[in-house]
Structure 1
């Protein structure tokens, strides 16, 4: 099969899932979004489960590409301020260019509650963040025990649906209308000033 066309279909499926939700993800909608002849998506991904698997695998590839880009950018932030800025930048990406991928991922998580095989495919994305955040905390000279990494990861993950929803009242109540302030406050809560680095 043509890999370029396959990737085009998978990217189109992400866009369809982000825009139309789980109920909007059909082979016909993917064909239209990819601007390919009717039946092309079904030829590549014969069932709806195959289409969901393709989207999940593409999301995982994109997640790993972001992680590799961060790793390739150098050792990471070396202090609290730098880490706060990095986390704020990641949240801006989620609300901006990364929005379709993140919306598709959240839709996939909902689908995964009924499909254990899909939950297993998505697991490296969420579980990888715990280790990544622990590494970032340590590199910034902050306490990086598993409890702090969990608190940071779960807070960031919990913020994402509110950030994507974009309701002004919710954004203000959560502090997400100021992402730099949000991440500084989050780090202050997770790793208060003066706490000892293990």
Structure 2
């Protein structure tokens, strides 16, 4: 049983890699077998249809988002404006750096979900967790949070990630994302203006 679970996890991660690298059209059983380094036909044994492959990637994305949304034991979250700004810069850097493939796969799933309502339900669960986590982190940072303000910050970060992924380095995007410090600082200043006593 453990061997089957390990093989299934290997295939799920391989499917995520294929989806991020080749796009939706490149997600085939053959490609997943190749990426996982397993005999031809293995992926089809575990995930008989293409929809099953997509579900496997969505399931893996959901697990990764759950892990990312859980603070380590004893962690309190950001404790102020600068701490939260650093967290947002880190999220943007991670999404376009080490986490690039995961985020690309997640975006590819959104395209598929526009035609597959069952997939949209899985992604909606990820989105709900994401918004709840971001609101919790903004409260932790001491902002005067409302659900609307929390959503604006979260949506702006989402849009920034897409824009950063779509534009190669050195290509102007018009959103000011060539300076992440200024982008994040400006976003927070608009949503959570500093009071005169903030200095």
The question of a shared fold, defined as TM-score above 0.5 by the shorter chain, is answered with yes
1:35 equivalent among 34, 37, 43: 37
Give ranges in structure 2 of 5+ residues lacking alignment.
Answer: none
Tell me the matched-pair count.
Answer: 193
**TM-score for both structures, normalised by structure 2:** 0.92
Q: Matches of 1:47 and 1:143 in 2, distance apart?
A: 48
Give ranges in structure 1 of 5+ residues lacking alignment.
Answer: none
Higher helix share: 1
Residues 80-110 of structure 1: CA distance to partner in whole angstroms, max 9, x if unpaired? Answer: 0000000110111101111111000000001
Instruction: Confirm or deny: 8 A CA contact 2:69 2:130 kept in the other structure.
Output: no
Instruction: Confirm or deny: 8 A CA contact 1:162 1:170 kept in the other structure.
Output: no
Residues 2-31 of structure 1: CA distance to partner in whole angstroms, max 9, x if unpaired? Answer: 111111111110110001100000000000
Instruction: Confirm or deny: 8 A CA contact 2:29 2:44 kept in the other structure.
Output: yes
Aligned CA-pair RMSD: 1.5
State the 4+ residue runs in structure 1 displaced beyond 4 angstroms. none
Aligned to 1:177: 178
Residue 55 of structure 2: SS of its match in structure 1? Answer: helix
Residues 58-99 of structure 1: CA distance to partner in whole angstroms, max 9, x if unpaired? Answer: 00001111112x354611111100000001101111011111
Q: Matches of 2:148 and 2:116 in 1, distance apart?
A: 29
**TM-score for both structures, normalised by structure 1:** 0.93
